[in-house]
């Protein structure tokens, strides 16, 4: 107990002792010690009960407590209650100021922010940007169903996904379909979600301008490259022995530029499409083709094995999937030293989907580089990539092709041991394979 409380308690006991002692003396004078002492004790008890009742009524009524002026225990209690009440009021003011500051900051955000009740999917609060981007009005839309108010956005199934909801990267605004929005759902508590909508119209326009620029430049480069390549083919190195090394290097670089232009045009074509024509992709002949291409590219320097354990086909574009798979197989051979091994395996996954994995025993990739491998022109080793004839766009093409098939690419690698590039398809992409009596077995390999 603090010293000032101990002193107040002693003073109260001293006053009580003095009252009882005075009652005893008064009782002796009148000859009624017991009655006088009992009356005094009852009076003291009644006074204490009155003070207790006063405290209880004050706490119940939540009235403002006045600072105490006495020195007894009850005065100290009044003082403590006054101090506690003052501290609580100060804390409430700070919390209210912080809450107002946070709400003002949220209201001033350029992104639309909507607080949604998780159970009822009704709007609890939204900022000013939600009016401009989503068309929500205050107070009309408070408590209204967010799915109904944000029509025609397909939010019902999206909200039902909860924590697993993927961001909507490009959705039209309910106010103006020319405004494109990026929607994200953030479950920040068990009861409330945060729906955040960002205007990405300018970003998408810039991205489209970039794609158009790359496509136009690549297309325009085709003609001069064809002319240069044609004239180089006409020059016979035996006629100009002293120029033979230069002509060979010019031929090599001309071919590399042609491949680069073709890859850029392929990327532009893929980026401009939202979907691909879907057909049944026969995987048995696809794997056989991949094996023949790998053997031709390797020229006997690697052991190439192709295994078909899935026994199914895929739904998608045969041309685009062949381009993606061929890129992965070619990369595996390109970055595997002579004498290494490349395995291509097509198998089923536990969720009912399918996976095509390309394993190699090549140089391997440091872990820090793996997240950036699908970026355009990103190279782990620039010198090795250029020596091998790569354009730096192969994995970008693979990424876009897989995105159009709702598939994903996973990469595992250990430096000095090799890499595994695996393409994962969902169950909706798996097709029952039709029996083909003319189909040749896929598994096989070549030595070195």
- In the DSSP assignment, the letter for residue 165 is P
What is the pLDDT tens value at each position of the chain, 448 positions in all? 667 666 766 777 777 788 788 878 888 888 888 888 888 888 888 878 887 877 777 777 677 766 666 667 777 777 777 778 788 888 888 988 888 888 788 888 888 999 988 888 889 888 888 888 888 888 888 888 888 888 888 888 888 877 777 788 888 888 888 888 989 888 888 888 888 999 988 888 887 787 777 777 777 777 787 888 787 888 777 777 888 888 888 888 888 788 788 777 777 777 777 777 789 999 999 999 999 999 999 998 999 999 999 989 999 999 899 999 999 999 999 889 999 999 999 999 998 999 999 999 998 888 888 888 888 777 776 555 555 556 678 888 888 889 888 899 999 999 889 999 999 999 999 988 875 544 444 555 544 4
Closest listed residue to residue 116, CA positions, set 180, 184, 200? 184
User: Sheet containing 279-281: which strands, arranged edge to edge?
Assistant: 279-281, 312-316, 430-432
Tokens of 6: 């101990």
Q: 279-432, what's its fold?
A: Heat Shock Protein 90 (3.30.565)
The distance of Cα 385 from the centroid of its chain, to the nearest Å, equals 31
How many CB atoms neighbour CB 421 within 10 A? Answer: 23
Chain Cα centroid distance, residue 441: 42
Angle, CA of 321, 377 and 381, to the nearest 5°: 105
Q: Provide CATH 1.10.287 ranges for the chain.
A: 203-271
Cis peptide before 217 (omega within 30 of 0): no
Structure tokens at 246: 């230069």
Place of tokens 């006629």: 239
- Distance, in Å, from the CA atom of 214 to the CA atom of 267, rounded to the nearest integer, reads 9
Question: Which residue is listed with tokens 């002193």?
Answer: 7
Compute the distance between CA of residue 297 and CA of residue 362 in angstroms, rounded to an integer: 16
- The structure tokens listed for 436 are 């083909």
Identify the CATH number of the domain defined by range 109-199: 3.30.450.20
Predicted TM-score (pTM) of the model is: 0.55
Comma-separated ranges of CATH 3.30.565.10 domains in the chain: 279-432
For residue 390, CA distances in Å to 46, 68, 70 come to: 98, 86, 90
What CATH architecture applies to the domain 203-271? Orthogonal Bundle (1.10)
Residues 6+ apart with CB under 8 A from 125: 114, 115, 142
End-to-end CA distance of the chain: 89
Q: Measuring CA to CA, how many Å separate 339 from each of 39, 182, 300, 390?
A: 112, 49, 9, 21
CB-CB contact of 301 with 335 (8 Å):
no
Alpha helices by DSSP H, listed for 235-346, are 244-271, 283-298, 318-334
């Amino acid at each position: 107990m603090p010293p000032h409380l101990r002193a107040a308690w002693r003073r109260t006991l001293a006053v009580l002792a003095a009252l009882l002692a005075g009652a005893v003396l008064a009782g002796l004078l009148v000859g009624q010690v017991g009655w006088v002492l009992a009356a005094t004790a009852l009076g003291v008890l009644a006074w204490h009960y009155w003070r207790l009742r006063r405290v209880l009524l004050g706490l119940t009524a939540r009235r403002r407590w006045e600072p105490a002026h006495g020195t007894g225990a009850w005065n100290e209690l009044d003082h403590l209650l006054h101090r506690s009440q003052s501290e609580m009021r100060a804390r409430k003011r700070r919390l209210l100021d912080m809450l107002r500051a946070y709400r003002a900051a949220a209201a001033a955000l350029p992104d639309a922010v909507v607080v949604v009740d998780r159970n009822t999917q009704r709007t609890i609060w939204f900022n000013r940007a939600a009016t401009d981007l989503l068309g929500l009005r205050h107070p009309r839309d408070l408590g209204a169903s967010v799915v109904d108010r944000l029509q025609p956005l397909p939010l019902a199934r999206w909200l039902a996904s909860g924590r697993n909801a993927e961001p909507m990267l490009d959705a039209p605004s309910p106010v103006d379909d020319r405004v494109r929005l990026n929607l994200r759902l953030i479950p920040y508590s068990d009861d409330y979600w945060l729906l955040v909508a960002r205007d990405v119209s300018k970003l998408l326009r810039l991205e489209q301008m970039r794609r158009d620029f790359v496509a136009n430049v690549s297309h325009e480069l085709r003609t001069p490259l064809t002319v240069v390549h044609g004239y180089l083919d006409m020059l016979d190195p035996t006629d100009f022995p002293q120029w033979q090394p230069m002509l060979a290097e010019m031929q090599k670089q001309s071919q590399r530029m042609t491949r680069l232009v073709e890859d850029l045009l392929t990327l532009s074509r893929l980026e401009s499409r939202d979907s691909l024509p879907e057909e049944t992709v026969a995987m048995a002949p696809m794997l056989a083709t991949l094996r023949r291409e790998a053997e031709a590219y390797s020229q006997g320097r690697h052991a190439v094995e192709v295994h078909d354990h899935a026994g199914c086909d895929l739904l998608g574009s045969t041309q685009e999937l062949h381009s993606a798979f061929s890129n992965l197989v070619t990369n595996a051979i390109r970055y595997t030293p002579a004498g290494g091994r490349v395995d291509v395996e097509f198998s089923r996954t536990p969720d009912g989907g399918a996976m095509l994995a390309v394993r190699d025993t090549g140089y391997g990739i440091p872990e820090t580089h793996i997240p950036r491998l699908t970026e355009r022109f990103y190279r782990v080793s620039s010198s090795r990539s250029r020596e091998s004839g790569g354009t730096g766009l192969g994995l970008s093409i693979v990424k876009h092709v897989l995105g159009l098939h709702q598939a994903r690419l996973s990469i595992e690698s250990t430096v000095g041991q090799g890499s595994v590039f695996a393409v994962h398809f969902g169950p909706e992409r798996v097709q029952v394979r039709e029996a083909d009596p003319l189909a040749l077995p896929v598994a096989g390999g070549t030595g070195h």
